[in-house]
Amino acid sequence: MERKVKYDLTFKLKCVKLVEEKHHSVTSVSGLYGINISQLDRWLQDYRRLGLKGLISSKNKTYTAAFKLRVIRAIERYGLSLSEAKFKFNIPNGSTICQWQKSFATFGLDGLQPKRKGRPVQDMSTYKRKARKSNKPLTREEELLIENEKLRCEVAFLKKYNALIQAQEEAESKQKSKPSKN
């Protein structure tokens, strides 16, 4: 399932063209369409660097730990800003790189490992499983215990069923004994 994109490509292009070609101010365009100024600035920056390709929203990507480390090392080695690194490595948002840097500073290389998505897997040792059937035949005592358990279940079921029937009959008799208000 794809993520929902708040602004489509045509809307972004329209806003950027107003600033670039019609010479409207960023503030007036953001006020006109109700866009955050920093968002519009980001679109302008992306458009100026990459053209139309810069406005196309990319889907959520997963990056390897090696790639993340390469980006962090390039920022340190060459003194790249977040926006320069974002364009050089084709990363949709600079805040992604900030998160990588924080994780790397806190947890080291383990912080850059991709995290599992979705619900965590349950520990299988906590589940109660049925005992596996063995090839050995059951002893007479085991057979009687199994039959006893089946009979207990059957009796409990019949008791519940009878209680339900009785409750329905009582409800019907109360319904019949009520005088009509007509």
Per-residue confidence of the chain (182 residues) as pLDDT tens digits?
Answer: 444 557 888 999 999 999 999 889 999 999 998 889 998 998 898 888 888 888 887 667 788 999 999 999 999 999 999 888 988 888 888 889 999 999 999 999 888 888 877 887 776 666 666 666 677 888 899 999 999 999 999 999 999 999 999 999 999 988 887 666 65
Listing DSSP states for 25-58 in one string gives -HHHHHHHHT--HHHHHHHHHHHHHHGGGGGSPP
User: Is the Cβ–Cβ distance between 1 and 29 less than 8 Å?
Assistant: no
CA-based nearest residue to 43, from 31, 30, 54: 54
The pLDDT value given to residue 127: 64
The pLDDT value given to residue 61: 77
The pLDDT value given to residue 1: 43
CA distance 101 to 104: 5
User: Is the Cβ–Cβ distance between 85 and 91 less than 8 Å?
Assistant: yes
The pLDDT value given to residue 76: 93
State pTM to two decimals.
0.52
CA distance 80 to 45: 16
**CB under 8 Å to 112, separation ≥6 — which residues?**
65, 68, 69, 100, 103, 104
